[in-house]
C-alpha cells in the first residue's frame, strides 16, 4: 500500500491514545495529529522521526495522521492499525500470500459475519475450500523478535475462539500476523502483557487453526508484505524497557 501527501516530523508528546504533537521538519510548525494506533506503543519517544499523512478533508480537527515512526532513528515501523488489513487484502487477492492447504485463492471477501463475530476475511480456494482469516498487526519488537500484543486484548482472544469455532464448522482457519517492520527473525506472543492469548492460540493450533506471519518493507510512504516469518509460541520476549508513549495524567495535589 502507498500513502500520498506524506510529511516528516519530530515526535514531541502524546497526551492520550488518540492524539500527539509533532514538529514538521519542513516548516518547524508544531501540529496536533491523529495517532492511527491506540495501543501502548513505546516507539513514539521524544525526538523520534515520524511520518505524517495530511488529510484532504479541511474540516477535520486534526489535519494529519501519524502512520509510521523511526525507532532509534534507524528502523521504520508502520503503526497504522488499518494498514495490515489493506496489505493482506492485496496479498490474498493477488495470491502473494500462500495459505497452507490451499493451492490458489479464487475469491476474497472482507469483513464477513460468522456466528457472533465479524472476521477480517473469508475466502475460497480452487477446490471451493472455504476459509476464514483474522489479521493482527504487530509493532512491538526487541532484538529482532516481534511480539503481539502491546496491551491486553480481550477482542483478540475472542477472535481466536471464533477461528476455533470455524474449524468445528468445517472451515479452514488462519491467524495472520502482519509485522509492520522488516528483518524480523521470529514472532511470538507477549505473555507478560496477556498470557491468556498465548494459551488460547496453543489450544486453537491443536484444533487446526494455522498461525502465519509476514514481515514488511516500510518507508514513510509505503507498507509492503515482504516474507514469511516463523511464529514460535515458546519464544521468550523481553521488552525493550522504553516507556509507553502516552503521557500519564498528573493529578493536581489537594489543597
Whether 104 is in a domain gets the answer yes
Whether 153 is in a domain gets the answer yes
Average pLDDT over residues 56-78: 90
Partners of residue 214 on adjacent β-strands: 178, 228
pLDDT category of residue 248 using cuts at 50, 70 and 90: low
Strand 19-24 relative to strand 186-189: parallel, antiparallel, unpaired?
unpaired
Whether 48 is in a domain gets the answer yes
Same structural domain for residues 198 and 139? yes
Same structural domain for residues 74 and 115? no
pLDDT category of residue 56 using cuts at 50, 70 and 90: confident
| Domain stop point among 78, 94, 128 | 78
Same structural domain for residues 69 and 87? no
| Domain stop point among 57, 78, 99 | 78
pLDDT category of residue 58 using cuts at 50, 70 and 90: confident
Instruction: Look at the chain and count its residues.
Output: 255
Residue-number span of the structural domain to which 183 is assigned: 83-228
Same structural domain for residues 223 and 167? yes
Same structural domain for residues 32 and 144? no
Same structural domain for residues 22 and 93? no
Same structural domain for residues 88 and 197? yes
pLDDT of residue 59: 82
Number of domains in the chain: 2
Average pLDDT over residues 233-253: 71
pLDDT of residue 73: 74
**Residue 226 exposure: Cα atoms within 13 Å on the Cβ side:** 16
| Domain stop point among 21, 53, 78 | 78
Same structural domain for residues 221 and 97? yes
Using DSSP, state whether 105 is helix, strand or coil: strand
Average pLDDT, the chain: 92
* 192 φ/ψ angles, rounded to the nearest 5 degrees: -65, -30
pLDDT of residue 255: 34
pLDDT tens for 80-122 read 999 999 999 999 999 999 999 999 999 999 999 999 999 999 9
Whether 158 is in a domain gets the answer yes
Same structural domain for residues 56 and 93? no
CATH no. for residue 15? Answer: 2.40.50.580
Partners of residue 6 on adjacent β-strands: 53
Whether 239 is in a domain gets the answer no
Whether 129 is in a domain gets the answer yes
Partners of residue 156 on adjacent β-strands: none
Whether 248 is in a domain gets the answer no
Instruction: List CB contacts of 41: < 8 A, sequence separation 6 or more.
Output: 79, 139, 140, 150, 244, 245
Q: Which residue has the higher pLDDT, 56 or 178?
A: 178
Average pLDDT over residues 38-62: 88
Whether 199 is in a domain gets the answer yes
pLDDT category of residue 127 using cuts at 50, 70 and 90: confident
Same structural domain for residues 143 and 187? yes
CATH no. for residue 203? Answer: 3.40.1350.60
Same structural domain for residues 71 and 90? no
Same structural domain for residues 99 and 72? no
Partners of residue 105 on adjacent β-strands: 125
Amino acid at each position: 500500500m502507498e500513502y500520498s501527501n506524506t510529511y516528516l516530523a519530530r515526535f514531541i508528546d502524546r497526551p492520550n491514545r488518540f492524539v500527539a504533537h509533532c514538529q514538521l521538519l519542513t516548516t518547524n510548525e508544531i501540529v496536533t495529529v491523529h495517532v492511527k494506533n491506540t495501543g501502548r506503543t513505546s516507539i513514539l519517544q521524544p525526538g523520534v522521526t515520524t511520518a505524517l499523512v495530511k488529510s484532504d478533508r479541511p474540516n477535520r480537527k486534526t489535519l494529519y495522521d501519524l502512520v509510521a515512526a523511526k525507532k532509534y532513528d534507524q528502523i521504520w515501523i508502520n503503526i497504522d492499525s488499518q494498514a495490515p488489513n489493506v496489505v493482506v487484502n492485496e496479498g490474498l487477492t493477488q495470491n502473494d500470500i500462500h495459505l497452507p492447504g490451499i493451492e490458489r485463492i479464487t475469491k476474497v471477501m472482507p469483513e464477513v459475519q460468522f456466528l457472533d463475530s465479524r472476521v477480517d476475511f473469508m475466502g475460497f480456494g480452487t477446490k471451493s475450500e472455504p476459509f476464514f482469516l483474522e489479521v493482527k498487526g504487530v509493532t512491538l519488537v526487541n532484538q529482532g523478535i516481534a511480539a503481539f500484543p502491546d496491551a491486553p486484548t480481550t477482542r483478540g482472544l475472542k477472535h481466536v475462539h471464533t477461528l476455533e469455532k470455524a474449524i468445528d464448522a468445517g472451515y479452514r482457519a488462519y491467524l495472520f500476523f502482519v509485522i509492520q517492520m522488516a528483518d524480523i527473525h521470529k514472532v511470538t506472543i507477549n505473555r507478560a502483557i496477556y498470557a491468556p492469548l498465548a494459551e488460547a492460540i496453543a489450544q486453537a493450533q491443536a484444533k487446526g487453526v494455522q498461525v502465519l506471519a509476514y514481515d514488511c518493507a516500510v518507508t514513510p510512504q509505503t507498507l509492503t508484505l515482504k516474507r514469511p516469518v516463523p511464529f514460535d509460541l515458546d519464544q521468550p520476549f523481553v521488552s525493550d524497557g522504553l516507556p509507553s508513549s502516552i503521557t500519564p495524567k498528573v493529578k493536581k495535589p489537594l489543597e
